[in-house]
Amino acid sequence: MNEEHNLLVQEYSKNPLKNFALKEYTIKQHEGNFICWDDIIVYVVIKNDTIEDYSFDGSCSNITTAAASFLSEFIIGTKIQDILHRTYQTMVDHWFEVSARRKRAGVIAILATRNAIHAYLKDWKNDVFDDVIED
Report pLDDT for 129: 93
Distances (CA, A) of 132 to 15, 25, 102, 113, 125: 25, 24, 13, 11, 14
Q: Over pLDDT 90: what percentage of the chain?
A: 68
CA distance 119 to 46: 12
Which pTM was predicted? 0.92
Per residue in 61-85, pLDDT tens? 899 999 999 999 989 999 999 999 9
- How crowded is the C-beta side of 39, counted as CA atoms within 13 Å? 3
Domains in the chain: boundaries: 3-132
Identify the band that residue 5 occupies on the pLDDT scale cut at 50, 70 and 90.
low
- CA atoms lying within 13 Å on the CB side of residue 61: 19
pLDDT at 33 over 90: no
Is the pLDDT at 1 greater than 60? The verdict is no
pLDDT in tens, 21-31: 999 999 999 99
The class (CATH top level) of 3-132 is alpha beta
Ranges of beta strands (E only) in the chain are 27-33, 38-47, 50-59
